[in-house]
Amino acid sequence: MTKYWNESYETLPREQLDALKLKRLKDTVQRVYERVPFYRTKFQEMGLDGDSVESLDDLKRLPFTTKTDLRDNYPYDLFAEPLRNIVRLHASSGTTGKPVVDGYTKKDLNMWAEIVARALVSADADRHSVIQNAYGYGLFTGGLGIHGGAERLGASIIPISGGNTQKQLMLMQDFGTTHLTCTPSYAQFLGEAMNDYGIDKSKLKLRAGIHGAEAWSENMRQDIQNKLGIKCFDIYGLSEVCGPGVAVECEEQNGLHMWEDYFIPEIIDPQTGEVLPDGEYGELVITTIGKEGMPLIRYRTRDITCIIPEPCKCGRTHRRIARLRGRTDDMLIIRGVNVFPSQIEHALLSTGLVEPNYLITVTREGTLDKIMIQVELPESLALNTVAELEDIEKKIKEKIHSVIGINAHIVLVEPKSLPRSEGKAVRVIDKRHI
């Protein structure tokens, strides 16, 4: 039987949910128009004002907000509340330039804890769960975001943060961890380490993993589930909008429910900005409708997914987004062909010949782009003959070609020789821009 954290809201009939969305959207639009000069100017330039929304359909007339807008208004200019009402600040892990900041009021933290509690229950947790939280604590929203939701749920939380793998494994055994929260790449590493230390997974109480913060494929899920002997759930979120918990999988493991009483999703064509019909892949745009500190109107996430309109068997009425395919800014253009690292991951793992640890390096020789994929062999295959290794290489090359239409240089490397990640993994090095 499906478990819910907040059944009445999670299963709210669509009509009532839409009415709630409209009310909250109107309030948000009014709020940003009155309180945030950036939005007031943008609205006025487009001939809109704080009362311009009469139906949910009017959303598409509102302006987008981009990451550049957030950077240009660094650190506080998009806040709709004075700093004295902001009780927490987080910032994104961006690698270039200034970070992107988000400020939360008490009410925002309350909402965030609510949606994370919903997410944890959706991923099979309850107040008896022991949650080992290996997302990083700090400016990154992963650690504290999950923490707040687990406390709200009344579970026992182990705030271990990322890294310190040996200690993670020790506590997992001694404290009877039932749920592991961390990035998929770190979960994979923990699974590997567990095997190395001779820990018998069947003796652990661990039963579920809640993974997100980076793109991961279905094959990667299978790998982590096998390595750790658990069921893994996908969780999505982003600092700009609040953090983990914006959307999450349920027991059906088929798409992530976005909590539409707080976030309105749209999918647009990233080139034209046109809203796409349900079921079509494009860029996810999110409007926050329950946030006080830093509400965002039509925030362009750069994440690629689609809206799954069909109702889910779990009974939650909030629509699902499909597993994230990557980001528009992750997309590599190699010899004019658009390639997403997630396609390469999927192709590699579907051969069943290699481990889900790989590194893609793109270079340019003269005018020609070259792609090299280093991928680890499983330990059982590392000692094979040269001919056998060449055969594996050939099969992988063919598979990659069939998926992306480009010949890649495949380099099989020793097991455990590529760098491991305790947070978000680095899978691509594009030397063309260095």
What are the strands of the beta sheet with 358-365, ordered from one edge? 409-413, 368-376, 358-365, 428-430
DSSP E strand stretches across 316-367: 320-321, 326-327, 332-334, 337-339, 358-365
Look up residue 121 and give its amino acid: V
To ligand DLL, the closest distance from the beta carbon of 221 in angstroms equals: 11
Burial 84-122 (b: 16+ CB within 10 A, else e): ebbebbbbbbeeeeebbbbbbbeebbebbbbbbbbbbbb
Q: How many Cα neighbours within 13 Å face the side chain of 384? A: 19
DSSP string, 184-236: HHHHHHHHHHHHHTT--GGGS---EEEEESS---HHHHHHHHHHHTSEEEEEE
**C-alpha dihedral over 296, 72, 303, 103, to 10 degrees?**
-50
Cβ distance to ligand DLL smaller for residue 148 or 244 = 244
Helix (H) or strand (E) holding 24: helix 14-35
Q: Which residue has the tokens 């295959």?
A: 381
Task: Output the smallest distance, CB 302 to ligand DLL, in A.
Answer: 7
- Tell me which amino acid residue 242 is: C
In whole angstroms, the minimum distance from the beta carbon of 100 to ligand DLL comes to: 7
Structure tokens at 76: 């506080």
Question: Between residues 191 and 212, which has the closer beta carbon with respect to ligand DLL?
Answer: 212
CB of 324 to ligand DLL, least distance (A): 4
CB of 84 to ligand DLL, least distance (A): 25
Residue 340: CB minimum distance to ligand DLL, A: 11
CB of 200 to ligand DLL, least distance (A): 28
Between 317 and 328, name the residue whose CB sits nearer to ligand DLL. Answer: 328
CA diameter of the chain: 72
Distance CA 182, CA 199 (A): 19
Nearer to ligand DLL, 287 or 410 (CB): 287
Token pair 């997302």: residue: 135
Where on the chain is the footprint of ligand DLL (CB under 6 A)? 92-93, 135, 140-142, 212-215, 234-239, 243-244, 301, 303, 324, 327
Q: Which residue is nearest to ligand DLL (CB)?
A: 212
* Cβ nearer to ligand DLL, comparing 195 with 281: 281
Smallest gap from residue 347 Cβ to ligand DLL (A): 18
Q: Which is nearer to ligand DLL, 92 or 178 (CB)?
A: 92
